[in-house]
Structure 1
Amino acid sequence: MEKVAVQLGQRSYPIVIAPGLLSGAGQVPELQQLWQFKKVVILSNPVVAALYLPQLQALFGQQQLFELLLPDGEAYKNLQSFDQANTFLLEHGIARDALLVALGGGVIGDLTGFVAACYQRGVAFVQVPTTLLSQVDSSVGGKTAINHPLGKNMIGAFNQPLAVIIDTSVLHSLPQREFSAGMAEVIKYGLLGDAAFFQWLEQQQDALARLQEPQLSQMIKHCCQMKADIVSRDETEQGERALLNLGHTFGHAIEAWLGYGTWLHGEAVAVGMMMAFELAYARGWIDAPTVARVRQLLVAFELPVQPPLGMQIADFMPYMKTDKKVKDGKMRFILPQTLGAAIIVDDVTESELQRVFAG
């Protein structure tokens, strides 16, 4: 069993990682606070619920349980689902002393966290992520949100969970495409802050593709630890935490342009990271062999490295100009200086983007 602590003073919380954890979480000392809630509301989707809801019901078997299944997919991380969840809580008389449990991937996790932030001005929640992407990234750090047609994650709140319960066994039921999308976020951690981890991923790619332990749990713990350390220093993204958005400025534009759910988030981020490295290469910051290594590892995990067919820089611009990272009217990008080190820049112009990505 692997454990990571997100250090945020009185709002600190544990991340617990192990295969089979859904069956054994009741014995974990760091999670004992969760069994004290009398009412528990589990939010999930039909796909995940069919696989893992019975295990979660058994885990919270001594408490009064309610379940709400929301539609599956990024297209449903919206105001309609947010309203549906709040209506369910009101109709069932859920009070502020209840616990919400997010059982699912990033969509369910983000939505549940945002509902928890808003319902009666705040109720407790816990993350039980079931995709690789949510286990290594979206379930950790308290970013919660829903999408708007004009931008991804534009309506939300910082809201930390009480705990994150990561059962690595659930990844065996994950479709290959979803696992690959999660690997984009894993690779991101190596690119933005740990070249040795990137090299380890290169060396362990076959074992990881087979979901082999202990490599799988070690990989997830490393990502969670990196994110926990950054969040503890910059919870509300005033500075350093923005580095976690490597590839996301381009990636969010791809998701919005295609329509949410057409590409998976990790697929769009993979292309976004590739574009960030190509832009850094054009500036002379990194060399061609480094760009090639990044491309090779993304391709090894079956991730795209080119924008969607027909998408030009002009198509990116409306979304990037309204991105959450825009400051004082300037677009901000996360660009690598070397493999394993990135910085925030605000001097990228539309003409530069046109030069680098023309054709």
Structure 2
Amino acid sequence: MLRISMLLVVCVLLGEPSARADRYDLKSGGYVEGELIARPDDGSYVIKTPDGARLAFERADVVRVTVVDDAATEYARRSREMHDTIEAHRALADWCRTNKLDQQRDHHLQRVLQFDPNDEEARLGLGYQKRGGRWLNRAELMRVRGMELYEGKYRTSQEIVLLERAKQNEGAAQDWTVKLRLWRDWLDSRREDRVAEARLQIASLDDPLAAPSIVRLLEREQDEWVVRQYVAALGRLDHPSATQTLVRLALHDEDAEIREECRDLLTRNGRVASIYPFVQALKSKNNEIVNRAASALEVIGNPDAVSPLIDALVTTHRFRIEGNSDRISAGMSNGSGGLSFGGNGPKIISKDLRNPQVLRALTSLTHQSGLDYDETAWRDWFVNQQMSADINSRRDL
């Protein structure tokens, strides 16, 4: 049971009332505000309330102590004692600024303006600026600049439209996730009508906002038919995540048919594919990736790929030979290197590999044959072509 006892005050408790008034939440459900005067050895609390009463609580009766900021307590005392005059509010506003009580400061500056709407010091303190003889607050000033407060920040109307559209797109994408998961479950249903409906819905997907959800499902899909349907859907969707996924699969999927399908989809229906990711892949440590990238560049057909393809006709890769065996592990990285020995341990060898898909892509893009894997001959031919094109362009001027 809560026990509260009045204490006799000894000399150490005498003096001016403190500005501090911490909060003591009690086990009974109530609370007391006051200054902690003493903590005896038994852990109890001796508190002086703002009206001067002394109370004692056993340790078990206090469930939480919230320490109140001294400045806030002092402000409460000052605000109770102040007179409602413009001078008093201005003085307390200055005190609040010194003690970093911004909200309270603004309150008193607003009161100053109620006494004198033209008080320049109060206007400036509240962030007003004078424009055309009128005092404008921050919101009004930003509105003049064509900006509105949106989700805690001032933004242009165009930016707000884009953010709202992004919100709508995010909601639509979430809806697609729900639908696609439902259709995927239906594909495994024993009901033929649900299987047929799911196949129809997946095969007719044409909303670009569905692309991110399809990509997530594709990453963990094991069924070959479903994978192909998802890939086909991505080929129909004009969305960055769809294009990025087709590029990734064209380079890294283990299924040759999937890789071929992705290469074709990147240029189907008027889609203009970037050569950049495939040009970068020509520098891969993995020789297979180099050739897959070349195959994609051949399909894309952009002549800007000719120069990097020439550089990739023959690439150097490193292989690891395990111990005394003839087994080779292709760790492979581009760059020069010879034969590295480690006693009877693994050996690292470097080999120059010809890349047939690179040669095929070059031949297709340039309609030039007979140069084989001679990089120097290809480079000479390329420079001559560039010079001829430059001369012809000058003649046309």
Larger Rg: 2
TM-score range, shorter chain: under 0.3
TM-score relative to the length of structure 1: 0.27
- RCO higher in 1 or 2 (8 Å CA, sep ≥ 6)? 1
